[in-house]
Structures are given as C-alpha cells and as structure tokens.
Amino acid sequence: GPDVDRDCLAGNVANALLLATALNPTLGDNRVAAITRTAMSEGVTPRAAAIALGFATAEEYDRLVDSAAMASPDAGARRDRDV
C-alpha cells in the first residue's frame, strides 16, 4: 500500500480550520469565527488560537475537538446523542 507520512498528516489535521466548528455548540459562532480568523492571520493552529484568545484551555480544546471521533463513520449519530 501507499506510504503514509504520519507527521505530515498530523500537522495537516492540527492546522485544519474546520476542526474549530466542533466548538460552535460551546463557544458560539462569533468566538469560533474569531478563532479561525486568528489562526489564519497569525499562522497558528485553531487550538493555539483558541487558547491565546482565552476561549478554551488546552484541556478543554482537546476534550471538545476530537478529530479522530469527528472522522469516524458514526460521528453524526454520536453528536446527535450528546446534544
């Protein structure tokens, strides 16, 4: 099979602005927009932007934004159940 550059993949996932949408139910649209705007303008990850803006601690961000869970086939069903 194809070789996977796991470091590159992890970096791409960490920098994906789409991850911040997982924060919408908790932080709201305006704060999530500020996170993505800051991440883009400062060239940092959404995680770093959320922390720098004081909207979430590292622990909170990691608990709320789980990229592996978001990518799983049953992510929609799990999200609907958690609401």
pLDDT digits (tens, 9 = 90+) for 2-14: 888 889 888 887 8
* Band (75; pLDDT cuts 50, 70, 90): low
φ and ψ at residue 66, rounded to 5 degrees: -115, 95
DSSP-H helix ranges across 1-83: 6-14, 24-27, 29-42, 46-52, 58-64, 67-71, 75-82
Span 45-57, average pLDDT: 96
C-beta of residue 39 within 8 angstroms of C-beta of residue 20? yes
